[in-house]
Amino acid sequence: MTLLCDKEIADLAINHNMIEPFVNKIVREENGRKVLSYGLGSYGYDIRLSPSQCLVFGRIDAGDTDPKNFNQDILRPVQLLKDDRGEYFLIPPYGYCLGVAEERLELPDNVTVVAMGKSSYARTGIIANITPAEAGWCGHLTLEISNATPLFNRIYANEGIIQLLFYQGNPCETTYHKRKGKYQDQAKEIVTCKV
């Protein structure tokens, strides 16, 4: 597999609708306000956190989380806040939340994506789980984010949150789409674990 560069990512985004909406450069400022960068980089693409939804794992007295029988009641919405630095969700100390990507992906049959945390967030204690999206997958990614600090931590909506690395190889025999993967065609809303 080969890591795709900016011109290859741009070609797939523009001519094959791989990323929508697509921004063909790194954006660091909007209307005179600095933002956490998003858009096309040298060897990746920084996606934005949608302001539409953020759910944090709530504090409960007992129980567990189970990927085979996920209890939606343990999630609670986080309020979208705003100040002169932008719109943001405030993640509690040692909190774990789910968000959703603003951009929609439609991966070709020979491209797989790996989502990685951005260094600006990593330096404040925000960790984004490393997750793949396989060849043929499409939809809005559900983002898994944790606050590893004893402090409240901001994650900004409509700004860069995760970098995607695109790997291209020979077309696989069975794509995510063909095998009817359980997370296919995700809308712009959080999708919890399914078995």
> What pLDDT is recorded for position 72?
85
Model confidence, pTM: 0.92
Q: Return the closest-CA partner of residue 103 out of 158, 57, 146, 151.
A: 158
- pLDDT(59) > 70: no
Q: Is the pLDDT of residue 64 over 80?
A: no
Active site residue 144: yes
What average pLDDT does the chain have?
Answer: 93
**Residues of the chain above pLDDT 70, percent:** 97
What per-residue confidence (pLDDT) applies to 63? 64
Say whether pLDDT at 62 is over 70. no
Phi first, then psi, for residue 7 (nearest 5°) are: -70, -30
State the pLDDT at residue 66.
Answer: 86
Over residues 60-64, mean pLDDT: 65
Residues in the chain: 195
Q: Is the pLDDT of residue 172 over 70?
A: yes
In the predicted model, what is the mean pLDDT of residues 97-123?
A: 96
* Beta strand 138-139 pairing with 86-91: unpaired
> Which residue out of 103, 144, 173, 189 is catalytically annotated?
144
HSE at residue 92, side-chain half, CA atoms within 13 A, is 11
Q: What value does the mean pLDDT take over residues 36-40?
A: 98
- The more confidently predicted of residues 152 and 67 is 152
The residue with tokens 């925000």 is 126
The pLDDT of residue 189 is above 70: yes
pLDDT class for 132, splitting at 50, 70, 90? Answer: very high
Q: Which residue has the tokens 């960790």?
A: 127
What confidence score (pLDDT) does residue 184 get?
82
| pLDDT single digits (tens) 77-91 | 999 999 999 999 999
